């Protein structure tokens, strides 16, 4: 009897492992678009290029609510920028673009303001490095849109107009 129970357990375990290795996608693909998942993506420094290829410059933030900041783009978003580091007027970022503003205070990041292009629309969130959410991607409509609509027709990214 013990051998039968053991055999059933081993077979069940093997089937679970095999199934998890061959399935095409997770049971909830929207989990990739949570506040926490987007913040985890932002922390992968190698996946980003800073605004104008300059990781050292901290911008004043005088024209926005986030304060002093650094701006970075994932490879998808960066591919849409010109040699001067800006999105051309009237252009759009491609699907999968991730634009991250790292708000700096006292020399450290105190907030991530995140824009993620999903289904031809932006998901927005503001989240602290400790994962406490200020504004969630799940909240619609985004209060961010009112300021970002004044961006000079650069797909709702304001920084190009000021810096």
Domain ranges of the chain: 28-162
- 123 has which bridge partners? 116
The answer, yes or no, to whether residue 108 has pLDDT greater than 90, is: yes
Q: Tell me the CA end-to-end span of the chain in Å, nearest whole number.
A: 73
The answer, yes or no, to whether residue 65 has pLDDT greater than 90, is: no
Average pLDDT, the chain: 82
> Strand runs (DSSP E) across the chain, as ranges?
48-50, 69-74, 98-105, 108-118, 121-127, 133-135
The answer, yes or no, to whether residue 95 has pLDDT greater than 50, is: yes
Q: Which two tokens stand for residue 102?
A: 């790292």
Contacts of 148 (CB under 8 A, 6+ apart): 156, 157, 158
The answer, yes or no, to whether residue 7 has pLDDT greater than 90, is: no
Write out pLDDT tens, residues 9-51: 444 544 444 444 444 444 555 557 899 999 999 989 899 999 9
How confident is the model at residue 22, as a pLDDT? 40
CA pair distance 77, 60, nearest whole angstrom: 23
How confident is the model at residue 1, as a pLDDT? 66
The residue whose two tokens read 């031809």 is 120
> In 3D, which of 87, 7, 2 has the Cα closest to residue 51?
87
Average pLDDT over residues 113-140: 91
- 102 has which bridge partners? 70, 112
How confident is the model at residue 138, as a pLDDT? 86
Domain 28-162 fold is Chalcone isomerase (3.50.70)
């Amino acid at each position: 009897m013990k051998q039968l129970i053991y055999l059933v357990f081993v077979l069940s375990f093997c089937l679970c492992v095999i199934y998890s290795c061959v399935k095409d996608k997770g049971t909830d693909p929207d989990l990739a678009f949570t506040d926490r998942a987007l913040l985890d993506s932002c922390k992968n420094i190698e996946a980003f290029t800073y605004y104008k290829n300059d990781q050292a410059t901290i911008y004043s933030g005088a024209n926005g609510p986030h304060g002093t900041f650094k701006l970075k783009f994932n490879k998808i978003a960066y591919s849409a920028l010109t040699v001067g580091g800006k999105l051309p007027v009237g252009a759009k970022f491609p699907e999968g673009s991730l634009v991250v503003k790292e708000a700096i205070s006292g020399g450290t990041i105190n907030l991530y303001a995140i824009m993620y292009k999903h289904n031809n629309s932006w998901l927005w969130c503001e989240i602290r490095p400790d994962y406490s959410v200020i504004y969630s991607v799940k909240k619609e409509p985004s209060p961010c849109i009112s300021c970002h609509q004044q961006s000079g027709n650069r797909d709702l990214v304001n920084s190009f107009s000021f810096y």
